[in-house]
Amino acid sequence: MSRIKEFNLPDLGEGLTEGEILAWLVKVGDVIELNQPIVEVETAKAAVEIPAKWAGQVQAIFHPEGSTVEVGTPIIAIDTDPGAGPIEASTTGAPAAALPTPSAASLAAVEVAPAEGAVEPGLIGGPAPGGRTAVLVGYGPRNTAAKRRPRRGDTPVPAQPAAPVAPVAPVAPAPVAPAPSNGHGPAGGPVLAKPPVRKLAKDLGVDLSTLTGSGPLGSITREDVQRAASGATAAAEPLAVSAPATVAASFGADREQRIPVKGVRKLTAENMSRSAFTAPHVTEFLTVDVTRAMKALDRLRNRREWRDVRVSPLLLVAKAVLLAVKRHPMVNSTWAGDEIVVKDYVNLGIAAATERGLIVPNIKDAGRLSLRELADAMTDLVQTAKAGKTSPADMSGGTLTITNVGVFGVDTGTPILPPGESAILAFGAVREMPWVHKGKVRPRQVTTLGLSFDHRIIDGELGSKFLRDIGEFLADPEAALLAWT
């Protein structure tokens, strides 16, 4: 059996055909462990970390960061027995940058990973130590947490003709802002930061080696990077404030910028276009006095068992939607051509804006959750989305969606239905406004809801009643809970 094994980019879920390599977590020469994350790949659905199928030493990396690779294409070669002595130069002698595809000589000495159909979908391979199965991050069974070794080296090493090196694209130094560092900290130790944090630092021109991390084990968090970026002094360069180099450098001589449409943004565009031109949309609006709801949230926050729980108005909106669905189950359905499929479960989608574009992860069977369980699920969903770790499984199978445009100070909107869903609710900003209350004009907390629905399934009466019930709950949630449950 050959020592050198090439690992193909696996199918990351739901028949996706390609993925973009965001970041290599290892480099040529690194000794890696079984199931150690080796590369972060973005598909049209999400960014996922792919673990190593074999332990050994990295011999070659075939595609640099930023490359779009088709499923089934070799991405890395691993020597599974590095202690057995040298291997032929023809196998790994060429630089990684010159190896977009394996050479004929290497193919003769390489055992290719099994075809995707040879294992259960989503699995990387056979059994792993401890009786578990090696799986993609976000898929299948998992009994222990994968550990990532910190990267070694100060800066990405350019490819040399005489040695195989990882083709990590070097960061061009900005003329007015410090280039981000992915290497060592002030004391010479490695900088601990996740790939999304490193990317943010790169985009903002923040040098990671100058920061003190506030995360676990001293790791640098997004908040650390954002604070450093916002706290940059004018002494660095006056232009760094008014015209960041990272932005200016992206425009050509024609003063135009071209952004490739790929990944999450590409899928979002395709889905929105398909939905907008296949499902006849209707949007209705309702303005609601939510003063009592805001007071109820304050009382909830002050309860001992809720003091460590993230509580926001969106929690009550989600609960209102779930209870209104029980009253009007047809809203939670799908148009299937010659039939309407009504769901007895609600996979509640929460639209989230991320660095890679808009994603809509969903809480599975949210209607069965208590208010506390719903709050915890929403917190996990938001934190996972912000970290860029939402899995394709978490974004599949949604039945009903909420988009919280109020966090941006927007009053409401006319949202487009996610494909396969029949309704989506826009939750606007909560503002203090003059409102007629008990016959007098008083300052009250007011918000506007916007409900878009598929008119093939939901007629005006049903849509209006559904929106009305959501509004009634938000106007007095404590009374509605007593009356509806």
Of the spans 197-201, 274-278, 323-327, which averages the highest pLDDT?
Answer: 323-327
Alpha-helical regions (H) of 345-459: 371-386
Residue 267 pLDDT level (bands cut at 50, 70, 90): confident
**Please, what is the average pLDDT of the chain?**
75
For the chain, percent of residues with pLDDT exceeding 90: 36
Domains of the chain: which residue ranges? 4-135, 171-258, 264-484
Confidence class of residue 358 from pLDDT cuts 50, 70 and 90?
A: confident
Q: Which residue, among 384, 383, 365, has the nearest Cα to 374 in the 3D structure?
A: 365
Give the H or E element holding residue 78.
strand 74-79
What are the E-state strand segments in 307-439? 333-335, 340-342, 348-350, 352-354, 357-359, 362-363, 400-404, 423-427, 431-437
* pLDDT at res. 315: 95
pLDDT at 366: 96
Average pLDDT over residues 450-458: 94
Distance CA 448, CA 442 (A): 18
DSSP, collapsed to helix, strand or coil, labels residue 31 as strand
Q: Taking the domain 171-258, which CATH number applies?
A: 4.10.320.10
pLDDT above 70 for 444: yes
Least confident segment among 120-129, 356-365, 381-390, 422-431: 120-129
d(CA 20, CA 23): 9
- Torsion angle, CA of 190/192/194/199, rounded to 10 degrees? -60
Give me the active site residues, please.
455
pLDDT for 185: 52
- Of 86, 88, 128, 129, give the one whose Cα is nearest residue 105: 88
pLDDT given at position 86: 67
Is beta strand 47-51 parallel, antiparallel or unpaired with respect to 74-79?
unpaired
| Joined tokens for residue 369 | 């959750």
Q: Would you state the pLDDT for residue 134?
A: 38
Intrachain domains 171-258 and 264-484 with the same fold: no
DSSP 94-108: S-GGG-SS--HHHHH
Pull the structure tokens for residue 315. Answer: 């929690």
Question: Quick count: other Cβ atoms within 10 Å of Cβ 286?
Answer: 17
Query: Hey, is 385 helix, strand or coil?
Result: helix
User: pLDDT digits over 19-54, tens only?
Assistant: 888 889 998 989 998 888 899 888 765 778 888 888
User: Would you state the pLDDT for residue 91?
Assistant: 42
Which stretch of DSSP H or E encloses residue 77?
strand 74-79
Size of the chain in residues: 485
- Inter-residue contact 21 to 66 (CB < 8 Å): yes
Q: Do the beta carbons of residue 418 and residue 275 sit within 8 Å? A: yes
CATH class of 264-484: alpha beta
- Please tell me what DSSP assigns to residue 336: -
Copy the structure tokens of residue 422: 């029949």
Least confident range from 73-77, 161-165, 353-357: namely: 161-165
CB atoms within 10 A of CB 222: 18
Instruction: Give the range among 104-108, 155-159, 215-219, 321-325 with minimum mean pLDDT.
Output: 155-159
Please give the helix or strand (H or E) that residue 473 lies within, else none. helix 460-475
Residue 81 has pLDDT above 80, yes or no: yes
Determine the residue type at 473: F
- Residue-level pLDDT at 314: 95
Nearest Cα neighbor of 352 from 405, 398, 428, 418 is 405
CB 180 within 8 A of CB 198: yes
Check whether 443 has a pLDDT greater than 60. yes
Pick the CATH number of 4-135 from 1.10.645.10, 2.40.50.100, 3.40.1390.10, 3.30.420.40: 2.40.50.100
Distance CA 65, CA 435 (A): 55
Best CA proximity match to 4, nearest among 93, 96, 107, 94: 107
Contact yes or no for 20/41 (Cβ under 8 A):
yes
